[in-house]
Amino acid sequence: MEQIAATEMADVQEIAGRAVADFGDFDALVLAEQRRIYRVLLAMLRDPDAADNLTQECFLQAYEHRKRFRGECSVRTWLMRIAINLARDHVKSRRWQFWRSLFSESVGSEERVEPADPRASPEHSLLARERLAHVSAVVDSLPNQQRAVFVLRFLEEMSIEEIAQATSLRPGTVKAHLFRAVSAVKGHLKERKNQ
């Protein structure tokens, strides 16, 4: 994670650009982007196995359809678009609903590592954890498209234009989805405060 976090955006773009120009360097593209794609898919699906499988599928499709890439957006955004489409198809597939809900439970109870401030008192930490769990539940409960743009904007810090390219939505629609998502989070926090 730190290795990629330290990687400059320009370097990633260069690596990705070379990888597409000459897919002999495809391994470098996978190395540079696999963590980000997996993180987004996991945030959207809450299913570690599906996120892993679809991350692999994302790179396979990118390689197979590399000739279709016309450079209208960055390779990172193009990869993200493939990942978003895969996640959308996955959600549509009713066959996975049952398993997804099962895995969703397991992620919630076991795999989530909740950030805790070591300086905070136990009571404060507990309250913060509770609040985070509920905000996370609110994000999970957002409609798929809202959750996708929320994840891309606030977790991946992509620009509105990049999100629009990745989701094939208009920038205005992306903003509308974000406003509603933020409003949902705000409403939920207000509710929690009043309880």
Partner 1 sequence: MNAHLNEQQFGELILGTGNEEIARHIEACDLCRAEADSVRTAISACRQLANNTAARDEIFWARQRLAVRQRLARPRFVPHVRWVATAAMVLVVSAAFLLTRPQPVQRANDDAADDVLLQQVQSDIERDYPAALAPAVLIDEERNSALSAGAGQSSNH
Residues that bind partner 1 (CB under 8 A): 1, 26-27, 30-31, 34-35, 38-39, 42-43, 51-52, 55-56, 59-60, 63-64, 107, 111-115, 128, 131-132, 135-136, 139, 151, 153-155, 160, 175, 178-180, 182-183, 185-186, 189-190, 193
Nearer to partner 1, 72 or 128 (CB): 128
Q: How far is the CB of 2 from partner 1 (least distance, A)?
A: 10
| Least separation in angstroms between CB 157 and partner 1 | 8
The one-letter code for the residue type at 94 is: R
Q: Among residues 17 and 48, whose Cβ is nearest to partner 1?
A: 48
CB 159 → partner 1: shortest distance, Å?
Answer: 10
Q: How many CB atoms lie within 10 A of CB 192?
A: 14
Question: Min. distance of Cβ 17 from partner 1 in angstroms?
Answer: 19
Q: How far is the CB of 74 from partner 1 (least distance, A)?
A: 20
Specify the residue, 72 or 110, whose C-beta has the smaller distance to partner 1. Answer: 110
- Residue closer to partner 1 by CB (options 1, 72) is 1
Give the separation between CA 149 and CA 84, rounded to whole angstroms: 10
Structure tokens at 134: 């509920």
**C-beta of 3 vs 72, nearer to partner 1:** 3
The answer to whether residues 48 and 103 touch, using CB atoms and an 8 Å cutoff, is yes
Any idea what the Cα angle at residue 138 is, between residues 50 and 168, rounded to 5°?
60
**The CA-based dihedral angle spanning residues 62, 66, 71, 77, taken in that order and rounded to the nearest 10 degrees:** 0
Helices (H), 46-170: 48-64, 75-92, 97-106, 122-141, 144-150, 160-167
| CA torsion through residues 128, 129, 132, 137, sign | negative
